[in-house]
């Protein structure tokens, strides 16, 4: 099932998402639906709040980046907790399926250690660096109620205000189905 993607301005994107209790929902089904939704939107990561669910779950799929080390980077992260971030911050231009049409350089640390459960409820503690770490940090932000635009300077935010307001009204170009909070019907 393909969900519409919730866009900027919806309160679900600003809420700190809740842990999933094992057995309370079918995490396999939700992850399959999220992969289908992300694929249709040509994304490389998607978090549950972006499909309207305030749950600590996100998925990643690095294959569209067409880099050798990304071919097996297809994963589900449940109840994730970043336990360490290290290294000197680096800038990279990020985008977000919930903020169509805007890309901005965001500064993040290059190395992370993360604890999480996979879709079979097996527990992991892994280290990631570079682009993989960045994708995870961006999605992890979503379950913490943070958007990449929250990392921008007040000046930059002011410059983008009009565009962001338009997105929340559904006035934006996205080649996938969106759910805009202020769209008049
Ligand atoms: Ni995003």
Compute, in angstroms, the gap from residue 47 CA to the centroid of ligand 1. 7
Specify the pTM.
0.97
Q: Which CATH number fits domain 5-179: 1.10.760.10, 3.40.50.700, 3.90.1300.10, 3.90.45.10?
A: 3.90.45.10
The tens place of each residue's pLDDT in the chain, 185 residues long, gives 999 999 999 999 999 999 999 999 999 999 999 999 999 999 999 999 999 999 999 999 999 999 999 999 999 999 999 999 999 999 999 999 999 999 999 999 999 999 999 999 999 999 999 999 999 999 999 999 999 999 999 999 999 999 999 999 999 999 999 999 998 76
3-state DSSP of the chain: CCCCEECCCCHHHCCCCECCCCCCCCHHHHHHHHHHHHHHCCCCEEEHHHHCCCECEEEEECHHHCCHHHCCCEEEEEEEEEEEEECCCEEEEECCCCCCCCCEEEEECCEEEEEEECCCCCEEEEEEEHHHHHHHHHHHHHHCCCCHHHHCCHHHHHHHHHHHHHHHCCCCCCCCCEECCCCCC
Q: Which of 81, 85, 139, 144 is catalytic?
A: 139
Residues with CB under 5 A from ligand 1 (ion): 96
Active site residue 139: yes
Q: Where exactly are the structural domains of the chain?
A: 5-179
Compute, in angstroms, the gap from residue 106 CA to the centroid of ligand 1. 12
């Amino acid at each position: 099932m393909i969900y519409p993607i919730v866009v900027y301005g919806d309160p679900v994107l600003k809420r700190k998402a809740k842990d999933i209790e094992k057995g309370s929902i079918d995490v396999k089904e939700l992850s399959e639906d999220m992969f289908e939704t992300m694929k249709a939107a040509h994304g490389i990561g998607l978090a549950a709040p972006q499909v309207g669910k305030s749950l600590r779950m996100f998925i990643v799929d690095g294959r569209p980046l067409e880099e050798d080390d990304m071919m097996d980077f297809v994963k589900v992260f449940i109840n994730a907790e970043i336990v360490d971030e290290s290294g000197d911050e680096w800038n990279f231009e990020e985008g977000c399926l919930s903020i169509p049409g805007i890309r901005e350089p965001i500064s993040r640390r290059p190395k992370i250690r993360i604890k999480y459960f996979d879709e079979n409820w097996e527990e992991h503690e892994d280290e990631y660096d570079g682009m993989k770490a960045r994708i995870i940090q961006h999605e992890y932000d979503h379950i913490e109620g943070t958007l990449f635009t929250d990392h921008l300077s007040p000046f930059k935010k002011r410059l983008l205000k009009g565009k962001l307001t338009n997105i929340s009204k559904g006035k934006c170009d996205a080649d996938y189905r969106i759910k805009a909070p202020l769209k008049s019907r």
